Structure 1
Amino acid sequence: MTGSSTADSSATAAVPVLDLTASGGELTAALVDIPSVSGDERLLADAVEAALRSLPHLTVDRDGDAVIARTDLGRSERVVLAGHLDTVPIADNLPSRVDGDLLWGCGTSDMKAGVAVQLRIAATVLDPNRDLTFVFYDCEEVEATRNGLGRLARIHPEWLAADFAVLMEPSNAQVEGGCQGTMRATVSTSGHRSHSARSWLGDNAIHKAAPILQRLADYVPRLVDIDGLEYHEGLNAVNIQGGVAGNVIPDACTVTVNFRFAPDRSEAQAEAHIREVFDGYQVVVTDSAPGALPGLSHPAAAAFIAATGATPQAKFGWTDVARFSALGVPAVNYGPGDPNLAHTREEHCSLAAVDECEKRIRDWLQD
């Protein structure tokens, strides 16, 4: 076993021991019970690294709080199984609890169930028909500039080189092709301050934002068919800020909008569309990530779909398949969690779905 580590050795918390021989559901629960809100994944990354370094058939590397493990068997094809370690902020839903077939807790669906499948495959598939790269990374749930997979793509693109990638994002164990892009922008108005008792002396910037909200209310999103998958765009206000004090007519107001765009648009085209919708207003793009075309006709993708028996669907949310696509690696989303439960206080996953997802991937790698 070889590899390097750039983890901060100053961490003093005891590293939890992950039992990779436990069932997928039990391992998911163990992962959930190690809190890992974005930016605070160190302890979980330490546990994942320690568990993988105990497996002699893998080479393990680390960059920050991202851990990468690889087989080197000389197979003709290499595939990546990738998943993020972080979660959104905890919503009084830790520790995990089991109720029948359901495991409840922060990160169960998005996406520690998928991470558990990765770890189970890493530990138990010793002679795969394809070489494997397992990627566990940090900061997926926050702004794109902090994304751990993006950092690896910039610093260690060779670690991500492959013929095909499976991102273990929650997809109800269905193959979700490509992903939509996402762009956030601010749309601003300006006015003139005055005392609210003499409002006619001012120019209310919040009132001037009303047409912006009306344009959003009237907006008709595109439905786009690509490779037989239908993508549903959306343009929505997600934040509005304005106001000075309870007795002041405000002189500034900012509406933040989020555009989820089909992967047939580039980021430049998405920005042009936002500016067209809000023509006449000051528009500033604050965050952006491109979409990814499905690529389901690629032989590796077709083989994966056939092996899993899954029905391809469009991915409405943005995922890191876009980063693999930018590296020239076709990728799909496939994981046991329910995407509709992601980020909710009621987040949970089916234990049977974790086992089924693991079985399908195992069969694909051992056919």
Structure 2
Amino acid sequence: MLPADPTDVPVLRLTGDVVALARDLCDIPSVSGDEATIADAVEAALRPYEHLEVTRNAHAVVARTVQGRAQRVVVAGHLDTVPIADNLPVRIVGEGIHRELWGRGTVDMKAGVAVQLALAAELVAPSRDITWIFYDNEEVASERNGLGRLVREAPELVQGDFAVLCEPTAAGIEGGCNGTLRVHVRVPGVAAHSARAWIGVNAIHGASEVLRRLADYEPRSIEVEGLVYREGMNAVGIRGGLAGNVIPDECVVTVNFRFAPSRTPEEALEHVLELFDGFEVTVDDLAAGARPGLDAPMAVEFADAVLGLTGGVPAPKYGWTDVARFAELGIPAVNFGPGDPLLAHKDDERCPAYQIEVCHAALLAWLAA
């Protein structure tokens, strides 16, 4: 990879106002697949700090302390966002406790990345060695995920005793995550001229049975290690039709199944195949969930320290996050970051400034103790 022209790299100031840093990060567009500029900015901001070893892998940046501590904590966050919806640059709305950052990435998850960057600069001599990971392509298919690429290409950079994903949790702790399965359900038909429709078979009409099964489906709520995960089965896309005067010979419904971490990926796929028995089903994406793991010693210590400042009790993570990737490596991991996950990916995405400050203070207190 050619080095970026320094004059083209946005400047990120890691010391000072963490809320301003979050705004600056959000104002660098970084839709999945277009993270080069923000990765350049993050790398350039971290390189001057002598207590950090900085490594670049494609559009992922890893910064590590190597101070011989007894334990290593991994703190990770992704740099990419879903597509912009006329919601950049960021606006600041309200004052005081009601101040909010409005715009793409404020929730998912550049406010969390701002907390990471500020702490990476600030924690010169932490109580544990820390690995800060900033990675690309989290919002797309799992085979493109930058953290997954690090696991394959540089596994030594992701090793640790405990991990924190700064995904949005409204400054609470969310344990584990649901798995995700995306499939294409194909409905066949027979093409014909629409003026002679009776000699064809309309595949789009045939898709009504797929949609009926989805409408009748009752998702389960499943308790796993004391946390209740809600599953979901939904159509997220449909395509069919060749021209305005042709009976379509194929219709494909794309279905996303979010499954509790008590199910294996194989069990999740079997469940979907049973639901759509009689149709051709092909897998587009599949990623396992992660059990909460909140009984791990470092997870207990983390929860005691953080919730003592933020309040509340641990909750389940309904979406998929890379805690699942750490779970596969045998590393206990939790989700903890600013922003309401219910606002992730919405056009009116917004994050309270105080949650950014609270998450920064809580992680600082724990990692410096």
Q: Note whether the superposition's TM-score is higher than 0.5.
A: yes
TM range (shorter): over 0.9
Computed over aligned residues only, the root mean square deviation of the Cα atoms, in angstroms, reads: 1.2
Shift of 1:9: 2.2
Alignment of 1:10-159 (within 5 A): 14-100=8-94, 101-159=99-157
Q: 1:260-315: per-residue Cα shift (whole Å, max 9, x none)?
A: 00011111111111100011111111111111111010001111110011521000
Q: Which residue of 1 aligns with 2:2?
A: 8
Tell me, in whole angstroms, the C-alpha distance in 1 between the residues paired with 2:222 and 2:4.
50
State yes or no: 1:196 paired with 2:194: yes
Between the aligned partners of 2:355 and 2:257, the Cα distance in structure 1 is 32
Query: What is the aligned length?
Result: 361
Unmatched segments (≥5 aa) in structure 2 = none
Structure 1 stretch 160-169 or stretch 28-37: which is displaced more?
28-37
List per-residue Cα deviations over 1:50-109 (Å, max 9, x = no partner). 111111111111100100011111111110110001111111111112122111121111
Partner in structure 2 of residue 317 of structure 1: 319
Q: Which residue matches 1:340?
A: 342
Q: Which amino acid aligns with 2:196?
A: R
Q: For residue 366 of structure 1, report the CA deviation from its aligned partner.
A: 2.1
Aligned residue number for residue 3 of structure 1: none
**Partner Cα separation in structure 1 for residue 207 and residue 28 of structure 2:** 44
Match of 2:365 among 359, 363, 366: 363
CA contact (8 A) 1:24 1:351 kept: no
Letter in 2 for 1:187: V
Question: 1:13: Cα distance to partner?
Answer: 6.1
SS at match of 2:8: coil
Distance in structure 2 (CA, Å) of the matches to 1:212 and 1:110 = 32
How far does the alpha carbon of each residue in 1:135-184 deviate from its partner, in whole angstroms, 9 at most, with x for none? Answer: 00001111111110010011111100000000000010111100101011
- Counterpart Cα distance in 1 of 2:65 and 2:360: 18
Q: Which runs of 4+ in 1 moved over 2 A?
A: 7-13
Q: List alignment gaps of at least 5 residues for structure 1.
A: 1-6
- Partner amino acid, structure 1, of 2:106: T
Q: Report the counterpart of residue 328 of structure 1 in structure 2.
A: 330
Contact 1:13 1:43 (C-alpha < 8 Å) held by counterparts: no
Task: Quote the Cα distance in structure 2 between the aligned partners of 1:34 and 1:243.
Answer: 38
Query: What secondary structure is seen at the aligned counterpart in 2 of 1:206?
Result: helix
Question: Distance between the aligned counterparts of 1:113 and 1:336, measured in 2?
Answer: 6
Q: Percent identity?
A: 57
The correspondence of residues 234-313 of structure 1 with structure 2, limited to 5 A, is 234-309=232-307, 310-313=312-315
Verify the 8 A CA contact 2:202 2:248 in the aligned structure 1: yes
Contact conserved, 2:4 with 2:40, CA < 8 A, in 1? no
Distance 1:13 1:284, change over 3 A: farther
Deviation at 1:342, TM superposition (A): 1.0
Q: Deviations over 1:169-227 (max 9, x none)?
A: 00101111001010110111112112222221111111211111111111111110011
TM-score (norm 2): 0.95
Letter in 2 for 1:289: A
| Whole-angstrom distance in 1 between the partners of 2:284 and 2:189 | 22
The letter for the 1-side match of 2:38 is L
Residue type of the alignment partner of 2:93: D
Q: Is the 8 A contact 1:192 1:204 kept in 2?
A: yes
Aligned partners of 2:71, 2:12: CA distance in 1, in Å? 29
With structure 1 as the length reference, what TM-score do the two structures score? 0.96
- Distance (Å, rounded) in 1 between the aligned partners of 2:7 and 2:138: 23
Letter of the structure 2 residue corresponding to residue 78 of structure 1:
R
